[in-house]
């Protein structure tokens, strides 16, 4: 059995769907951030797999994955600082309790 | 054959911890499962001959982002937030939607005519990536440094205690 691009694409689709499931079902905001990391990684696998099998002579897919990783790090820094600030203010990390803007 | 064994092991190492990340009750345990999942993704990068990304994934994600996540899990939340129910009432709907997503993407991918034999690639990608980042990708490369600075300043601003008026 030869491992081809389709295997990687299906794997990353499953990983992305698990991330979506986490986003939609978690109550804890840190859990939501972890699910977002899962989705970023699924996208990264896709980029690198396409780079390897469609344009093996170029490195643009890997370059974009580098940017995705850098942006994920930036997102994690800002997101976690926001989580700490929200927790300090409202004493909860459950997303359904964060409803002070509710009309 | 060897490749298939590697791929099977790595995909199990990615998918099973990922399921635990979104379902396990204790968020700290979920973060630890996420470490395993990210290491598996790094292994997949190595399988795809992306050696520099393999190292970056381990350094930035497993070394940096995960430590940050574990810090925040420990700094935030009352014990009651950790022992209660961790998923909302519509989890079955979310699972249905995720299954639909996998089926849709899978049916599209299965119908693709895409060659499955990779051409030969240079042994290391690091020098090529360095050249790419400093020539054709120079503009996004500079912008990402701006984004990182903004993220640093923003994180310090948000998490600093407000001075008493």
**Tens digits of residue pLDDT in B8-63:** 999 999 999 999 999 888 888 899 999 999 999 999 999 988 899 999 999 998 88
Residue of B nearest to A51 (CA): B48
- How high is the ipTM of this complex? 0.90
Residue B87 has a pLDDT of: 78
Q: Are A39 and B30 in contact (CB under 8 A)?
A: no
pTM of the model: 0.90
Average pLDDT of chain A is 88
CA proximity to A4, closest of A69, A50, A63, A55: A50
CA distance, residue A101 to nearest chain B CA (Å): 19
Chain B residues inside the 8 Å CB shell of A6: 109-110, 112, 114, 116
- Which chain B residues have a beta carbon less than 8 Å from that of A4? 114, 116-117
Alpha helices in chain B (DSSP H): 2-23, 27-47, 51-56, 66-75, 79-83, 91-110, 126-134, 138-159
Query: Shortest CB distance from B91 goes to which of A25, A48, A52?
Result: A25
Q: Which residues on B lie below 8 Å from A2 (Cβ)? A: 3-4, 116-117
- Band (pLDDT 50/70/90 cuts) for residue A84 is confident
User: Region A50-63: what's the mean pLDDT?
Assistant: 87
**d(CA A91, nearest CA chain B) in Å:** 7
Residues of A with Cβ-Cβ distance to B86 under 8 angstroms: 26-28, 31
pLDDT at B99 over 90: yes
Instruction: Count CB-CB contacts under 10 A for residue A61.
Output: 23
Judging contacts by C-beta atoms under 8 Å, the chain A residues touching residue B7 are 3, 7
CA–centroid distance for A59 within its chain: 22
Angstrom distance (rounded) from CA B139 to CA B136: 8
Q: Which residue of B has its CA nearest to A84?
A: B76
**Closest to A83 measured CA to CA, from B62, B70, B153, B149:** B70
Chain B contact present for A35, CB below 8 A: yes
């Amino acid at each position: 059995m030869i491992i081809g691009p389709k295997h990687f694409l299906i794997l990353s689709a499953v990983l992305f769907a698990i991330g979506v499931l986490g986003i939609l079902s978690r109550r804890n905001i840190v859990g939501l951030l972890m699910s977002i990391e899962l989705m970023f990684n699924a996208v990264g696998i896709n980029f690198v797999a396409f780079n390897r099998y469609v344009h093996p002579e170029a490195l643009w897919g890997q370059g974009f994955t580098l940017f995705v990783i850098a942006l994920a790090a930036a997102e994690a820094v800002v997101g976690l600082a926001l989580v700490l600030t929200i927790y300090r203010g409202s004493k909860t990390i459950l997303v359904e309790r964060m409803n002070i803007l509710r009309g | 054959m060897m490749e298939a064994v590697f791929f099977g092991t790595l995909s199990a190492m990615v998918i099973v911890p990922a399921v635990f990340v979104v379902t396990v009750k204790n968020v700290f345990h979920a973060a630890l499962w996420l470490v395993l999942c990210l290491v598996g993704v790094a292994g997949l990068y190595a399988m795809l001959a992306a050696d520099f990304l393999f190292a970056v994934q381990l350094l930035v994600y497993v070394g940096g982002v995960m430590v940050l996540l574990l810090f925040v899990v420990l700094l935030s939340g009352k014990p009651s937030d950790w022992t209660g129910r961790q998923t909302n009432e519509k989890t079955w709907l979310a699972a249905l939607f995720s299954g639909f997503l996998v089926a849709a993407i899978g049916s599209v991918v299965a119908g693709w005519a895409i060659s499955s034999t990779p051409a030969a690639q240079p042994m290391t990608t690091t020098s090529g990536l360095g050249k790419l980042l400093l020539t054709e990708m120079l503009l996004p490369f500079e912008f990402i440094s701006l984004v990182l600075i903004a993220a640093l300043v923003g994180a310090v601003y948000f998490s600093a205690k407000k001075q008493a008026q």
